[in-house]
Amino acid sequence: MIALPDLGWTAGHTNDFEPYAADGLVPGRVSEQHRGVSIVVTEAGELRTDVAGRLSHDAAAGDLPAVGDWVAVAARPAEGAGTIQAVLPRRTKFSRKVALAASEEQVIAANIDTVFLVTSLNDDFNLRRLERYLTLAWESGAQPVIILTKTDLCDDVATRVLEVEAIAFGVPVHAISSITGDGLELVRSYLAPGLTVALLGSSGVGKSTLVNTLAGREVLAVQEIRESDGEGRHTTTHRQLVLLPEGGLVLDTPGMRELQLWESTDGLGETFADIEELGLRCRFNDCAHGTEPGCAIQAALEAGTLAADRWESYLKLQRELAHLERRLDKRAQSEARKQWAKAGAEGRANMRLKGRR
């Protein structure tokens, strides 16, 4: 039998759950999701669950159960099933904008303590993509850690580490190999009973292999990647929370081909703290960082102390967030108009009824 504290349950969760306990519901943590079905781990075992119609209808997309969430379940133990009636407040969450959707949030992982941003030292290595991951990781509220995998396939690990450290201020960077065991003890230092680590990165960087290594057995299926061209991909198709034998939990995720930002203004400031600090040194408070005299950013670009591609990356992400903010604002205005129209219609209907009396 699994004890809730092993899954990360705290006194705060006990307080949050009190109203649901009075209704006879049981607490559990979402460990997997498969096309509308969530696997929830409870003290009585795993339950295959659906979401109550009321919750499904009333909740926004980002408020529906996600892997890592603590939930209140109406359990049917004899069937090994149940219905999720509520989601407990989240401490942290890693979100992105749903690909191709207008303006909807997708929660990738909830209630995580540490985010491992995993990238390999082969052809996958990409500093600009890493900046995007960092922006969302800082916004999540969890502690980001960068894991550089496959040191056994890289001839100059030290240089790569320095390149990453130059864009990841205050973020630990660890170079490892699941094959040789290089650096794995540092990775294990983030794992302890009740703590949850989420692994995020593109396909083929070694996330599932790392989970299997930490677990000491193959708990996640993987597919071989051809190192000559990087082709092939891991077979992980869903997010999954794994309880490790020595304590701690790891949440593996499928490789994400597209990672669009979701309300990450604070995260952008953390990721590009160097650029935002430079902006404060400009002569004018409203400096557009173009041709204005006394622009500290243009001076840094000319001196080579700020890389042009990092500045372009910052501008690109800033534009993306501004575009998202405008779309969310328009949607909020549209919803408000609908609510006012509905209230007006109901008011007129009530007036007509009173008139008939």
Over the stretch 141-198, which tens digit does the pLDDT of each residue have?
999 999 999 999 999 999 999 999 999 988 999 999 998 999 999 999 999 999 999 9
Strand, helix or coil for residue 121: coil
Which tens digit of pLDDT belongs to each residue from 20-56?
999 999 999 999 988 779 999 999 899 999 999 989 8
Q: How confident is the model at residue 119 (pLDDT cuts 50, 70, 90)?
A: very high
Residue 345 has pLDDT above 80, yes or no: no
Alpha carbon of residue 68 to chain centroid: 11
At CB < 8 A and 24+ separation, what contacts does 222-228 make?
Answer: 227/122, 227/153
Q: Which residues of 286-308 are buried (b: 16+ CB within 10 A; e: fewer)?
A: ebebeeeeebbbbebbeeeebee
Strand, helix or coil for residue 34: strand
What pLDDT, on the 0 to 100 scale, is given for residue 105?
A: 78
Structure token pair of residue 117: 């941003």
Q: How many CB atoms lie within 10 A of CB 337?
A: 10
124: nearest Cα among 211, 261, 251, 234? 234
Cα dihedral sign, 181-121-146-237: negative
CATH class of the domain at 4-87: mainly beta
Phi and psi, residue 342, nearest 5°: -65, -45
Q: How confident is the model at residue 332 (pLDDT cuts 50, 70, 90)?
A: very low
What pLDDT, on the 0 to 100 scale, is given for residue 99?
A: 63
The amino acid at residue 306 is: L
Cα angle, residue 135 at apex, residues 265 and 331 outer, rounded to 5°:
45
CATH number of 93-252: 3.40.50.300
Contacts (Cβ under 8 Å, ≥6 apart) of 205:
118, 119, 120, 124, 149, 150, 255
Work out whether strand 81-87 and strand 70-76 pair parallel, antiparallel, or are unpaired: antiparallel
Contact criterion met (CB below 8 Å) for 296 and 305: no
Structure token pair of residue 304: 């080579």
CATH code 2.40.50.140 region(s) in the chain? 4-87
Average pLDDT, the chain: 84
The amino acid at residue 180 is: T
- DSSP bridge partners of 250: 197, 242
Alpha carbon of residue 206 to chain centroid: 18
* Alpha carbons 227 and 242: distance in angstroms, whole number: 27
* Alpha carbons 241 and 233: distance in angstroms, whole number: 20
What pLDDT, on the 0 to 100 scale, is given for residue 340?
A: 53
CATH code 3.40.50.300 region(s) in the chain? 93-252
The more confidently predicted of residues 309 and 217 is: 309
Structure token pair of residue 343: 């209230």
